[in-house]
Amino acid sequence: MAVDREAIARVEVFRRRGECRIWLRRGLAPEEELNWQTMLGEEFPGLDIRLETLVPEEGEGYLGWEGEILKELAARLGPGSRAWLAGARLERSGENSWHLFLPGKLSVEVLRRLGCSAVLAGILEEELGQEVAVEIKTDEEYCRELSRASRELQEEHLQKICRPVEGPAPEGSPGEGAEDEDGGVLLGHRIRGPERALVDIQDEERQVVVRGEVLNFSSRQLKSGRLLVTLDITDRTDSITVKAFVTEGPLREKFLQPGQWVRVRGDVQYDLYSQELVLLARDMETAEPLCRQDLEPVKRVELHLHTKMSAMDGVAEVEEVVRCAARWQHGAVAITDHGVLQAFPVAAEAGRRYGVKIIYGLEGYLFDDDGSPDQQKPYHIVILVKDREGLLNLYRLVSASHLQFFYRKPRIPRRLLQQHRQGLLLGTACEAGELIRSYLSGADEERLAEIAAFYDYLEIQPLANNEFLIREGKVPDRRALEEMNRRIVALGKKLGKPVVATGDVHFVEPEDAIFRQILLHGQGYEDEIQAPLYYRTTEEMLGEFAYLGEETAREVVIENPRLLASQVEDLKPIPDEFYPPEIPGAEEQLTEIVLRRAREWYGDPLPPEVEARLDKELKAIIRHGFAVLYLIAHKLVKKSNEDGYLVGSRGSVGSSLVATMAGITEVNPLPPHYRCPSCRYTEFVRDGTAYCGADLPDKGCPRCGEKLVKDGHDIPFEVFLGFKGDKVPDIDLNFSGEYQAQAHRYAEEMFGRDHVFRAGTIATIAERTAYGFVQKYLEEHNLKLRQAEVNRLVRGCTGVKRTTGQHPGGLMVVPRGTDIHLFTPLQHPADDQSSTVITTHFDYEALSERLVKLDLLGHDDPTVIKVLEDLTGVPAREIPLDEMKTMSLFSSVEALGVRPEDIGTQVGTLGIPEFGTRFVRQMLEETRPRTFAELVRISGFSHGTDVWLNNARDLIRSGTARLSEAISTRDDIMNYLLQRKVPPDVAFRVMEDVRKGKGVKKEYEDILLSAGVPEWFIQSCKKITYLFPKAHAVAYVMMAFRIAYYKVYHPEAFYAAFFSVRAEEFDADIICQGLERVQEEIKALERKGNEASARDKNFLAILEVAREMFCRGITLKRVDLARSHAVRFLTAPGQLLPPLASLAGVGRSAAEAIDRARREKPFTSVEDLQRRSRINRSVLEVLERHGCLAGLPATDQLALF
């Protein structure tokens, strides 16, 4: 009898018990059961085949995005296929390729016969918007384990392993959501019974109770209505994934946050989907953390602590350190990173939030400047700040150490420290400090006293911190370490200097030592015993120094550190106030500029809508001191425009009508409207017929008959400056990449070079890099951990500082007469001493509310526009944004005169910024936009995170929402909610929460529902993790549409501009051979699939544009030594002439050298070319191979014979 696949729910294999369990939706006839017993017995001999009748919950076997793909695959393959997908694992193996791993060879064979690869590829292409390749493979490791288990069972003739006997049922029936009088129950009932450490759970078990900290939490609604809740928890001995199916109760309503603690009771089972043990929760409740307590009545203060800003060394999160200090009631804690102060801003905020005084300092590198730096090994020194003067001195010392005395590390010369030690406390630091190093080298008492006299306090540390000195043979044993600390204590008493016990903290909890071990291992350090450099309680620290006697121990652990802490004032590392540069009369100048432009456009008096908007904005801008920022931006844009380059706006600046009237942005945030350029007639359109002015029908002025200008994109001002108008504006401008350096110089001219600095950045270990560190450590130590524990280790290593850098276009401006060190030290990016660039030491985001930050970025779009204007004579600003043939490019290729099959795409946006990638072209093919407003929405969808895929796309496909309704930008939320009469402050706060990925708070959700906001809108908000500003999208689309116009009406100029500006990998030697060769190259690169390099992918995009160009009848001539431009493509009717630099191997420098030489006089020979241009032999060979040297004699000598 044939097997009825529809009867199968899922297949599970329990490797450790040697059991294969098949879950059925109904009972099987005896013959069917025998068929299955025979099949599985032959596939995996020796396994106990168990058939169970149970209808599983829809979606139980599939989790996350990959799981949804597998569920869709099962649905498309037809009834019964789901059983063969049990234990399947979908993994991306490259950018355009995926592997589907299956646990058994039989499953692979069956699914291949069903055409699984093609079906899955189709699903992935729909989801990702790009072509993919899928390969079905057997999970070899899984099969080896099964086979090994089978052999062992056969050879040893073991009895079949049955399910363990169930333990006693928990008290009461396990009703979901049941509450008792104690409260705190999230699922099921109150939990009683002993807890297990997670590290001890290594096999399937029944009814275990654990306690853990939530690492992450997610929930997903199943088709049945139940909620699948998944969370990772840790007790720091190990971690595990917990799953629960919830019908009702607190867990359905509450979103558990990372850092919360829970107790869970349930069964530990092997999960085939994740292929590891998971805990299936029956009961769950909130729990007290498993935390160390500090029960001493008088608390210590830690004076030596490193955060993640100690590059590739410290792993302590600032927030966690300060929270811990508050919990232990430590009144203060010091931050002393290696050579840097970059944790100060975050520490200040944490100290304010938790009520802990932050002692600002650093562990510096001291040297005596009476010799060459490379011949001196610097001493460690701890420097603590006492007062405001000390903070300023410390900032100056750090600037000097990075800018003047950097040698491998930022070093501080002793003489400079002496000059700036007012307001500072100097400590002797660790074993690398001057005092202990001298002690270990045998210095006598007099010399040690002389050294100690330089410092304000002496430092000792727990013996375990310095046990490596025993291993290195520098001291014989622990007693010697005790004696060393006793000598320092005695020295302190002799000199009247306080001796303090510090932990040299590098991580918060003892169990966090593994994070630092992983980091050091990843950097190539030899494995060694990790010193216990954790944050100790008062009791723990007293225990470390008990050998000194109780009185002395209390003195060094409690009294002296508290004494020093009492000398430290409460300080702020950065002032609270905003310090804009001063431009006398800025407010009046801005107001005059804005009103003049507004009256030119809208007449005098202004229409009420315009006057009200400008009045609202100007009052907020002037009241909060922001007028100077607008005036600066106005001057910069005006200068660029006068020099022939358009400037594009970024971010939300286009939300401000004042910015529009000041010429800072072309985006007009008013509602859609008409205005007459002649008589100033204005008409606002509020009937919903258009979402932006560009989409309004053409219309003549009812007063004078002049054609009306159509404008307005309906963007609220609050998106830019906040609901109260007090948010410091971040004006981002896209200058041409060719003009960016001039814009920076002009800013320096305006404010003075000594008052303009590049915005500094801090590069930290990203999650992906941390994962590589963790995997390397686990592999080389032969460790196999659960994924939840791997994720915990990755999180512990993520965020550690690697290096520093600079914002690509950010400038920080300091007012004249104000010292930059009031705000931050200075340094070179990445501590590159050969660089002439000076950046802020603090990350620019910490300073953006105190100093003016100018974002003067370099961008290709303004450069392309400049090239197109020069080639065509058509001003970009005169291009109408509703031009029909141009608009058609975003939904078809008809305007190009080609067929979709000719150019490999159904839309004509190849080479158009924002719309040329395969991902966005797929969006265009699905949505077929017909209006400018719809293009803006496409831009928003493509730039957001979790906005299109699994969100707006599904809503549009299902008909739940129209393209014009689905959320694409942050402004959509505020506008939609205001239309629904939601209170403005609530609409603004919801928008802010959603754009930052915080979802919708319960109290706001209730308000939205009561206002009639549909459920789909709220659920869409909850999925979003980042939203693009509408003003930014409008600015991008304006540039893109203009460039598309040139593509339709001036094709030669379009392709010349594209290849000149955006095609660094252009290879004239290949592309000049024509369409057939280009087609061959495209196919060859596409065959590479995942093996294609980044250059291959870039070249593929260039080839696609070249193919389109050839299909439109435009040819490409060969590079000409005499006529080709150095770097720009030249045009002629139906032709392009590529530049010298377009030959691979020539490059810009060689091309410009040739150009300079030929301007002097024509080349007379190859020898003359090489001599005057000074090009090397390889460049000469490239030119010769392409035919550029044809007809040019080898030398200038005449042949006599």
Query: Which residues contact residue 741 at a Cβ distance below 8 angstroms, ignoring those fewer than 6 apart?
Result: none
Q: According to the model, what pLDDT value does residue 725 have?
A: 59
pLDDT band (50, 70, 90) for residue 333: very high
Q: According to the model, what pLDDT value does residue 141 have?
A: 57
pLDDT tens column, 444-458:
999 999 999 999 999
Secondary structure letter of residue 857 according to DSSP: E
Q: Which fold has domain 185-286?
A: OB fold (Dihydrolipoamide Acetyltransferase, E2P) (2.40.50)
pLDDT tens column, 840-866:
999 999 998 889 888 888 888 889 999
Length of the chain: 1201
Decide if 644 contacts 683 (C-beta within 8 A). Answer: no
Query: Which residues contact residue 570 at a Cβ distance below 8 angstroms, ignoring those fewer than 6 apart?
Result: 357
Number of Cβ atoms within 10 Å of the Cβ of 112: 12
Q: Is 589 in a helix, a strand, or coil?
A: helix
pLDDT tens column, 880-939:
999 999 999 999 999 999 999 999 999 999 999 989 998 999 999 999 999 999 999 999
Six-digit token string for 38: 């025979």
pLDDT tens column, 62-89:
345 677 788 788 878 876 566 677 667 7
In CATH, 1057-1186 is 3.60.15.10: no
How far apart are alpha carbons 690 and 139 in whole angstroms? 55
Query: Which residues contact residue 1186 at a Cβ distance below 8 angstroms, ignoring those fewer than 6 apart?
Result: 1068, 1069, 1072, 1118, 1119, 1143
How far apart are alpha carbons 439 and 485 in whole angstroms? 11
pLDDT tens column, 1033-1081:
999 999 999 999 999 999 999 999 999 998 888 999 999 999 999 999 9
Q: According to the model, what pLDDT value does residue 61 have?
A: 38
How far apart are alpha carbons 748 and 49 in whole angstroms? 78
Q: According to the model, what pLDDT value does residue 27 have?
A: 55
User: Which candidate, 556, 531, 533, places its Cα nearest to that of 543?
Assistant: 556
Domains 185-286 and 1057-1186 share a fold: no
- Strand 756-764 and strand 709-711: the pairing is unpaired
Decide if 236 contacts 199 (C-beta within 8 A). Answer: no
Decide if 12 contacts 85 (C-beta within 8 A). Answer: no
Q: According to the model, what pLDDT value does residue 98 have?
A: 84
How far apart are alpha carbons 185 and 251 in whole angstroms? 9
Would you call the peptide bond into 825 cis, given omega within 30 degrees of 0 as the criterion? no
Secondary structure letter of residue 845 according to DSSP: H
Secondary structure letter of residue 267 according to DSSP: E
Secondary structure letter of residue 969 according to DSSP: B
pLDDT over threshold 60, residue 580: yes
Task: Report the percentage of the chain scoring pLDDT > 70.
Answer: 88
CA-only gyration radius of the chain, Å = 35
CA angle, 518 as apex, 516 and 520 as ends, to 5°? Answer: 70
How many distinct helices (H) and strands (E) make up the chain? Answer: 46, 32
Decide if 626 contacts 580 (C-beta within 8 A). Answer: yes
User: What HEC string does 644-695 produce?
Assistant: CCCCEECCCHHHCHHHHHCCCCCCCCCCCEEECCCCCCEEECCCCCCCCHHH
Q: According to the model, what pLDDT value does residue 106 have?
A: 67
Number of Cβ atoms within 10 Å of the Cβ of 165: 6
Range scoring the smallest mean pLDDT among 116-125, 657-666, 720-729: 720-729
The pTM assigned to this predicted structure is 0.76
What would the mean pLDDT of 860-874 be, rounded to a whole number? 92
Six-digit token string for 1037: 């689309």
pLDDT tens column, 599-646:
999 999 999 999 999 999 999 889 888 898 889 999 999 999 899 888
In CATH, 318-566 is 3.30.70.3450: no
Six-digit token string for 784: 């196999």
Q: What residues does each domain of the chain span?
A: 5-156, 185-286, 318-566, 574-670+713-765+800-860, 773-797, 960-1027, 1057-1186
Strands (E) located in 226-291: 227-234, 239-246, 261-271, 276-286
Query: Which residues contact residue 688 at a Cβ distance below 8 angstroms, ignoring those fewer than 6 apart?
Result: none
What would the mean pLDDT of 1100-1120 be, rounded to a whole number? 95
Strand partners, 211: 263
What would the mean pLDDT of 101-120 be, rounded to a whole number? 78
Secondary structure letter of residue 906 according to DSSP: S
Query: Where do runs of H (alpha helix) occur along 1050-1176?
Result: 1051-1062, 1068-1071, 1075-1088, 1094-1111, 1147-1160, 1166-1173
Q: According to the model, what pLDDT value does residue 95 have?
A: 67
What would the mean pLDDT of 221-247 be, rounded to a whole number? 88
Decide if 944 contacts 1026 (C-beta within 8 A). Answer: yes
Q: At what angle do helices 1166-1173 and 1147-1160 cross, to 10 degrees?
A: 110
Q: Is 361 in a helix, a strand, or coil?
A: strand
For 5-156, CATH gives: 3.30.300.180
What would the mean pLDDT of 650-672 be, rounded to a whole number? 88
How far apart are alpha carbons 666 and 861 in whole angstroms? 14
pLDDT band (50, 70, 90) for residue 3: very low
How far apart are alpha carbons 634 and 597 in whole angstroms? 13
